[in-house]
Structure 1
Amino acid sequence: MAPLSKEEEDFPLAFIITIHKELETFVRLLRAIYAPQNVYCIHIDDKALEEYKTSVRSLSGCFPNVFLASVSEKADINCMKDLVKSPVKWRRVINLCGQDFPIQSNLELIRYIQGSEWKDRNMTPGVKQPPSMKHRTEFPYVEVKGIHVAPRANAPKKGPPPHNLTIYFGTAYYSLTRPFVEFVLSDPVAKDLLEWSRDTFSPDEHYWVTLNHMKEAPGSRVDGEWEGNIRAIKWRDQEGRAHQGCKGQYIRDICIFGTGDLPWIIERDSMFANKFETASFPEAVDCLELWHRHKVLQQASVPIQPSWRLTTEVEVSNSTLTLIPEDCV
């Protein structure tokens, strides 16, 4: 409940977290990334159960710098509108989902995005839209029963993107500068692209990366491609190349991490890892949370309060023994 260093106090971050399930995983994510100098906008998807929404509202009410998005649709844009009105003078915004978990500490996040490669630059990994992905923006799509999207029946092709924009394709995850956010919320081209993108397959996979390739956008990376160590994810189709298999289980071709995946995650040193499920593989979250908190406290430049520790430490023969679950050993 206090900044852990002057460096972190002077560089507050904003987080947008979109959630609809896995309440315990979200709570532990928030606990891991929480710092009083930062600000957190929580967007609860409409399909979440009312009991879930009530629990999140109660939790957010405990902190002056954690709030729910004022509008329930278009999560990122509406959270950004709320964040620019916040009294917290945040410098960067990072978006998350409720099944992410941090690998880097808050201090490491700041040093990474303020390093020579990313200082005052937006991080939106992606490339020019490949032919295999063009169908996602060429045809209008509609959400089916809140579960998935499908092409609208008998609908003609969409018109070309506004302002003759070249569409890019990439990850929906980002790290954006505050001037870029203000540009997105006010620029006519950005607004027109948002409107055109409403009925595309997955707007977040092209919207941010396309805008970040506009030379007029603050902090843009016109020649950027897949640079940016934003997420550690094990995709099924990358098994044998980017990783040696999922030690938890694949769901929709993405690995739900088990404890056996943790060495790979830590070695990657990404900003965050995805996905975790406390209900399915609780030990993976237990171990990573302990590892992350230990690193955070080691890096702190202020006196450590006992309540900040997640484990009990006892003195044994002039050495310190940290008690951790057996599954983490």
Structure 2
Amino acid sequence: MCQLEVTKCSFLLCLGMSIIICSVIYLRARIPTEPKPLEPSSCRPFPPSCKAFLPGNDKRIEWYHRDCKAESYILNSRLQCSNLTRDLHFITRPLSREEEDYPLAFIVTVHKELELFVRLFRAIYMPQNVYCIHVDAKAPRGYREAVQRLVSCFENTFLSSRSETVTYAGFSRLQADLNCMKDLAKSKIGWRKVVNLCGQDFPVKSNLELVQYLKSKEWRDRNMTPGVKQPVSMRHRTQLQHKEIIGSHVALKGLGLKKGPPPYNLQVYFGTAYYALTRAFVDFVLKNQIAQSLLEWSKDTFSPDEHYWVTLNHIKEAPGSHIDGGWAGAIRAIKWKDQEGRTHNGCKGRYVRDICIYGIGDLPWIINRNSMFANKFERNTFPEALDCLEQWHRNKVLSQATVPIDPSWLLAIQSNSSSSSNNSSSSSSSSRSYFNSSAEA
């Protein structure tokens, strides 16, 4: 009898402990936890020079990336979209009513550096916008499949229905944008303006700042195509016939065959290949006879994207035209080598084709200039410049939000280098509180 009681007590004790353990496991699974900081061995800290751009002045606090392997993550063919948007920290809700009421369209042409594209896309992504991604036809198959895998997770993002083999300074570069424009014209999203990007760009303005800038009094009903009447030094581009060696380069035809004059006696302008265009202007480009004739005439010119948009934007009949625009429009922060000492204090990274590949020392100039975007970045050459600008940009985006901040939107977390991992978790919490308090301000 006594033995039976002991056995019974032991059974009840084991049963009770099992129930307690199961309850604890169940509750831990149901209760959301704070995002945990990654170990320094997995995610390197930001360099000391970057701290000047991040909140907090405590020297003991280190900022750590939360995603160190964005490229390898995308290459995982078995990933689920719900995990991807969370683990790569995509913003999944409009951050303000103002942005929601003014959706933008983006054209992004890419061909290399998958991780750089992922980080660019994440920086500009908002669920109310629409995105057309043009992947160069000569890009490796694995690259295209990875981009397609990423894009398929977003209903408002798609690959261009037609891909070009893009040649530097060739007509194919202009055609790539036009392919996306045709696709965007069919979009059910009521986008207001379209902006074009390349894979080595990165935003400086937040989406809210882009909206406010593009609908400001100066630009509300206008296209932004910085440029001037074609200088004498550039006339050879459109006065001599060129041919595109597909995927290689652009060369003169023969010994310099002359072209006929532009159609409709148009004045040719010279400017940047980047723009911000109204939807009505895009319809004009796709349907108007003047635009189509200029396009046909431009096929054997050199770098036609640097004259096509700006020339059309100086036609009175074009919707949103800006006849006296000149170089107005803060579209790109670019350090040209021949402008050193005049518009900038030199490249802190390195020059490629007379354009600065930014180093971290260029960030103060980029931030103070406050253009829409900055160009160019290389992930493998100067990773710290991109890391720092990306975190600075996300801090700004979240601080301007008028909605509660989802913890998964944080790109980086803080940890106290002189404390235990428990203290690191509390630092993560304080980082989250920083953004929540900013959103409520």
Shorter-chain TM-score: which interval?
over 0.9
Question: Using the alignment, how far apart are the partners of 1:156 and 1:267 within structure 2?
Answer: 46
Question: Using the alignment, how far apart are the partners of 2:255 and 2:344 within structure 1?
Answer: 41
Give 1 or 2: higher helix fraction.
2
Cα shift at 1:320: 8.1
Is 2:158 the partner of 1:67?
yes
Question: Using the alignment, how far apart are the partners of 1:66 and 1:93 within structure 2?
Answer: 14
Is 2:2 the partner of 1:2?
no
Cα shift at 1:321: 9.7
Cα shift at 1:54: 1.5
Q: Is the 8 Å Cα contact of residues 407 and 432 (structure 2) preserved in structure 1?
A: no
The letter of the residue matching 1:222 is I
Give 1 or 2: higher strand fraction.
1
Q: Is the 8 Å Cα contact of residues 413 and 431 (structure 2) preserved in structure 1?
A: no
Which 10-residue stretch deviates more, 80-89 or 45-54?
Answer: 45-54
Question: Using the alignment, how far apart are the partners of 1:29 and 1:170 within structure 2?
Answer: 24
3-state SS of paired residue (2:109): strand
Which 10-residue stretch deviates more, 7-16 or 150-159?
Answer: 150-159
Question: Using the alignment, how far apart are the partners of 2:291 and 2:257 within structure 1?
Answer: 24
Match of 2:118 among 27, 51, 59: 27
Question: Using the alignment, how far apart are the partners of 1:294 and 1:209 within structure 2?
Answer: 34
Cα shift at 1:153: 2.0
Do the aligned partners of residues 319 and 234 (structure 1) sit closer, same or farther apart at CA in structure 2, a change above 3 Å counting?
closer
**1:264 maps to what in 2?**
365
Cα RMSD of the aligned pairs, angstroms, is 1.7
The letter of the residue matching 2:211 is I
**1:288 maps to what in 2?**
389
Structure 1 unaligned spans of 5+: 323-329
Question: Using the alignment, how far apart are the partners of 1:198 and 1:121 within structure 2?
Answer: 27
**1:115 maps to what in 2?**
216
Cα shift at 1:168: 0.3
**1:239 maps to what in 2?**
340
Question: Using the alignment, how far apart are the partners of 1:193 and 1:258 within structure 2?
Answer: 39
**1:86 maps to what in 2?**
187
**2:139 maps to what in 1?**
48
Do the aligned partners of residues 71 and 320 (structure 1) sit closer, same or farther apart at CA in structure 2, a change above 3 Å counting?
closer
The letter of the residue matching 1:93 is V
Question: Using the alignment, how far apart are the partners of 2:408 and 2:374 within structure 1?
Answer: 26
The letter of the residue matching 1:246 is C
CA deviation profile, 1:267-294 (whole Å, cap 9, x unmatched):
0000000000111111111100000000
3-state SS of paired residue (1:288): helix
Match of 2:149 among 58, 63, 69: 58
Question: Using the alignment, how far apart are the partners of 2:299 and 2:320 within structure 1?
Answer: 25
Is 2:283 the partner of 1:182?
yes
Match of 1:171 among 272, 287, 293: 272
**1:311 maps to what in 2?**
412
3-state SS of paired residue (1:156): coil
**1:156 maps to what in 2?**
257
CA deviation profile, 1:115-152 (whole Å, cap 9, x unmatched):
11111100000000011000001112122362321112
TM-score, normalized by length of structure 1?
Answer: 0.95
The letter of the residue matching 1:103 is V
The letter of the residue matching 2:210 is L
Question: Using the alignment, how far apart are the partners of 1:60 and 1:319 within structure 2?
Answer: 30
**2:296 maps to what in 1?**
195
Is 2:139 the partner of 1:38?
no
Cα shift at 1:315: 4.1
3-state SS of paired residue (1:198): helix
Cα shift at 1:319: 9.0
**1:326 maps to what in 2?**
none
Do the aligned partners of residues 182 and 155 (structure 1) sit closer, same or farther apart at CA in structure 2, a change above 3 Å counting?
same
Question: Using the alignment, how far apart are the partners of 1:51 and 1:113 within structure 2?
Answer: 36
**1:106 maps to what in 2?**
207
Cα shift at 1:154: 3.6
Identity %: 67
3-state SS of paired residue (1:285): helix
3-state SS of paired residue (2:137): coil
